[in-house]
Amino acid sequence: MDFPAALRRDTENTDLKDVSLTQMMTFLRLLSVLKDDILLPQPIDISVHKPPLLLPPTIATFVSKATGIDSESISACWSLLKEEVWSLPRPELSMAEEGLFRDNGWKMGPIQAGIRTYYGDTPNYIQIGEHQFAERKLIAMWISLMLLAWYSALVLVLPKV
């Protein structure tokens, strides 16, 4: 990783003026562990070999809380360091870093209250289970059929006038 070159690329960015080197290193290490989670809500046609343009909001919020970097600076750090994050091998986390996940991250997984959130356009294939996906058109058909069934059942039980 050419960290000095990354910093030289964006010397004019005032969002990073309050970010310490320790915070940036923690940012790099945490996100290099979270690459799969960063890719999870991305559209299926995004390359896994390049970092996405934006961090998912849950990941950005977690990293902000874990590093103490404000949310505006998280976006600036990602823009500056995403290539370095993507090139890093997955590090072995220290006990302190594992504590950051325990204290700040476990409650912020990609599924919250049984709801999976997709960012941007809804993909053509939607994850409906841990290893199950369904085409968006099929899900729309399921919804239509369910609404038709509910309406039919309602018509049968309503008193006839």
Higher pLDDT, 45 or 122: 45
- What's the full length of the chain, in residues? 161
Q: Which residue has 């309503």 as its token pair?
A: 158
What confidence score (pLDDT) does residue 120 get?
Answer: 64
Where do the structural domains in the chain lie, given as residue ranges?
A: 3-120, 124-161
Q: Please, which pLDDT band fits residue 111 given cuts at 50, 70 and 90?
A: low
Per-residue pLDDT of 31-85, as tens digits, reads: 999 998 898 888 888 888 999 999 988 889 999 999 999 988 999 999 999 999 9
CA distances from residue 28 to 18, 60, 82, 119 in whole angstroms, order as listed: 17, 12, 8, 23
Question: Which pTM value belongs to this model?
Answer: 0.64
Could you tell me which residues are beta bridge partners of residue 115?
A: 112
Across all residues in the chain, what is the average pLDDT? 83
Q: Could you give the CA distance from residue 126 to residue 107 in angstroms, rounded to a whole number? A: 22
Are the C-beta atoms of residues 66 and 55 closer than 8 Å to each other? no
Question: What kind and span of H or E run contains 76?
Answer: helix 71-87
Cα–Cα distance, 83 to 87 (Å, whole number): 6
Per-residue pLDDT tens for 98-110?
888 888 776 665 5
Query: Kind and range of the H or E element at 117?
Result: none
Contact 15, 72 (CB under 8 A): yes
DSSP character string of 118-137: --SSPPSEEE-SSS-EEEHH
